[in-house]
Amino acid sequence: MTAKPCIYRGRIRGAECECTNYRDMIHPPTLPLAFCNTCPFAREPDFFAQTERLQVVKYHRGEYAPQPRTCGGCGTFKARESAVQFAWPYWAGGANGDELRFSIRSVEANYRGTAKITIVGDRPEWFRGHAIPCPRIGPNHSNRPYRDMLNKMWTMATHPQIDSEFVWMMDDVYLLKPVTWDDIDTPRAWRWQESRGNSWQRRKTNTMRALAGRGKTQYDFATHLPHTVEKQKLRDLFDVYQLKQNTLLWEVLYGNEYRQKPWGTRPFFARLTDARNPQDIERATAGASVMNHLAQCWTPAMRQFLESRLPQPASGETISSGYRPEFKRVNRGNRQRAVKRRPLHTHRAVVEAKGKR
């Protein structure tokens, strides 16, 4: 047969494959992918890419629709009898605007059960619900943002007003469709690739090394998804990994310590990384139950999209007269850096001016 580009050409450039089962290997519905025994370039497909591709393809073909887990033979959904506490660590100074308002609305609108709302940290002026004060740590701490998060997680692990099981949330995470405890509790992760490109990646690498030292897996559970948490297990992490001294990512530790082998995040989860208009946001999140976005995506268009999907105020929400939403952060790449000029009265400026004559 005529040589065709190998399915693994992205990994080994210029490779060609004359396998007779080539058509089976690239046939989209054939998942997991058929593994070729004759191709010298063949490698086992990645677990996460394989799982996500299967779910996405079948979802768009109408062959797969995520359904809530049932109570058994009756085929009906059975919600938890007790209320579930959703807890947000929150620092008002780091918020872009009022994303938290819509995150809370999304839980009350789309969690299939009774949700208890708790904010750990700063109480927004528009919120009158349950809040546990936890001021931001002082500026004299190194790794301040990460230490502040760990400080708030310690509060959740030890405070008497936090239930034995709860759901950890972030202010830029939204439930867009009906979601159950089982949906949130299903372990989902990304494949981790080591990088030390920025402080976040360096913390993640240090976390993975700590896990490897204990013989644990190294899946990337820092997905920006909600996480179910058992309070005592969270408390134990601080002792096992000495998180009062070590700045590690608690959700990565927790997932690899206590969760089973994870699934991929798609199509359950959509993460937006660039600003879009409401119509594009609607298309990008059409198949997702949970959405998250980067800071630069918090725009009037994003707020318009969320307000149209979540118009009903949350139970602890008050709307002050004259309230105007803020969008204080912009993409740094769109701002020109200010050029500093030395004052003319300084000696160096005088010398430089004479040299240009």
| Amino acid code (one letter) for 265 | T
CA distance 207 to 221: 11
| Strand order across the beta sheet in which 269-272 lies | 173-175, 290-293, 269-272
Preceding amide of 267 cis, omega within 30: yes
What integer pLDDT is reported at residue 196 of this predicted model? 82
What integer pLDDT is reported at residue 318 of this predicted model? 84
What integer pLDDT is reported at residue 326 of this predicted model? 60
What integer pLDDT is reported at residue 80 of this predicted model? 73
CA distance 329 to 96: 6
CA distance 138 to 132: 18
What integer pLDDT is reported at residue 227 of this predicted model? 97
- Written as six digits, the tokens of 331 are 């993409």
Asked whether the beta carbons of 168 and 185 are under 8 A apart, the reply is: no
What integer pLDDT is reported at residue 169 of this predicted model? 98
Asked whether the beta carbons of 91 and 155 are under 8 A apart, the reply is: no
Secondary structure class of 200 (helix, strand, coil): helix
What integer pLDDT is reported at residue 57 of this predicted model? 67
Q: How many CB atoms lie within 10 A of CB 63?
A: 10
Which residues of the chain fall below pLDDT 50?
1-44, 68, 70-73, 75, 321-323, 330-340
What integer pLDDT is reported at residue 15 of this predicted model? 37
Asked whether the beta carbons of 52 and 265 are under 8 A apart, the reply is: yes
CA 171 to chain CA centroid, Å, is: 11
* Run of H or E residues at 232: helix 231-240
CA distance 111 to 99: 18
What does residue 121 show for φ and ψ, rounded to 5 degrees? 135, -125
Strand ranges, E, within 101-211: 115-121, 130-133, 165-168, 173-175
CA distance 131 to 172: 18
* Structural domains present in the chain: 4-45 (no CATH), 84-309 (3.90.550)
pTM score, whole prediction: 0.72
What integer pLDDT is reported at residue 212 of this predicted model? 96
